[in-house]
Amino acid sequence: MKFQTNEDKLIRIAVQGRVANAAQFAEFEVAHDGTPFALPSTGGIVYNFKTGDAAFGWAGDHIEPGVSVTLDEEKRSSRANMGFNFLACVGNLARVVSGEAKGKKGVVTGHHGGVEHVTVDFDDATLAKLTLDDKVLIEGFGQGFRLSDFPGVRLYNLDPAVFHKWGIRPLRGGKLEVPVACMVPAELMGSGMGHNNIGTGDCDIMTHDAGAVKRNGLDKIRLGDFVAVLDHDHSYGRTFRKGAVTVGIVVHSNSTLPGHGPGLSTLLTCAEGQIVPQSSNEANLARILGIGRFRKK
């Protein structure tokens, strides 16, 4: 089926940032079990952690895959910086516009709240040429995307090209079948809950209960996985709503901080249960686009 959409009316607009510095938030942080740790975290150019890699098992906390990009590190909550985050959608084209890697192209893979970073996937040759002084221009396209025949489904942060390649299909009764890597019960959602910044931040899956992680297959989560959160409505803010379903994309690695874990950027949400998640081993951005860990050499 060809979906009836409004993509021919969407605004395509350039936003530009620069490579974000790697950050240390404290000399030591304290894990959910009281263990202190000092590990790499957000920001920088990450060479060996890519979209498509496992979210667990790394000697890091909240690690962002590929290149982290921001507009203004000193004023993360400024209107301009939030606009940069809001307009950069998953699947958008990114292009290096300075330095030795000038002209090289990549793909937006998500955005991370708090630090307000946009993550971009580039191939290894480009990563090797990039520096922390380099600037990245993104062709922002996707905010305002709607499905004419499914008005109850709201979409955020998603390039329409990714939607069409995802494998989403209509079902009887006005519902959408959406391929997902796993399904998460509402009670496991933590940091980011209650916020209304659906177009800029993320919400973490809490992974500190070993039993819950195993029962729900969360230990298999990969960066770039499309994940369904049951009984969650992100239409106008992140909240519990029985029967609602939200689908997001995993944007950073696991975290042992209380209330934290792999982060999800919202992509689709519906309060009335029109979204029907369907388990699929192929439900990953890197697999769909052939980027990150699944890029052909």
Domain 7-140 of CATH type 2.100.10.30 = no
**Opening angle at CA 52, ends 49 and 55, nearest 5:** 65
Cβ 225 vs Cβ 248: under 8 Å: no
Q: How high is the pLDDT of residue 180?
A: 98
Q: How high is the pLDDT of residue 133?
A: 96
- Show the beta-strand stretches assigned E in 97-238: 105-112, 117-121, 135-140, 154-155, 169-171, 175-180, 182-184, 203-204, 226-233
Give me the helices (H) in 30-75, please: none
88 contacts: CB under 8 Å, gap ≥ 6: 15, 108, 111, 118, 138, 140
Residue 295, amino acid: R
260 contacts: CB under 8 Å, gap ≥ 6: 62, 190, 191, 204, 206
Q: What backbone phi and psi angles, to 5 degrees, belong to 213?
A: -60, -45
Q: Taking Cα atoms as reference points, which of 78, 61, 66 lies closest to residue 23?
A: 61
> Per-domain residue ranges for the chain?
7-140, 154-294
Domain 154-294 of CATH type 2.102.30.10 = yes
**pLDDT, one tens digit for every residue, the chain (297 residues):** 689 999 999 999 999 999 999 988 888 999 999 999 899 999 999 999 999 999 999 999 999 999 999 998 888 889 999 999 999 999 999 999 999 999 999 999 999 999 999 999 999 999 999 999 999 999 999 999 999 999 999 999 999 999 999 999 999 999 999 999 999 999 999 999 988 889 999 999 999 999 999 999 999 999 999 999 999 999 999 999 999 999 999 999 999 999 999 999 999 999 998 999 999 999 999 999 999 999 987
286 contacts: CB under 8 Å, gap ≥ 6: 50, 51, 52, 121, 222, 223, 224, 292, 293, 294, 295
CA dihedral 115, 194, 88, 112 (to 10 degrees): 30
Cβ 92 vs Cβ 142: under 8 Å: yes
Q: How high is the pLDDT of residue 1?
A: 64
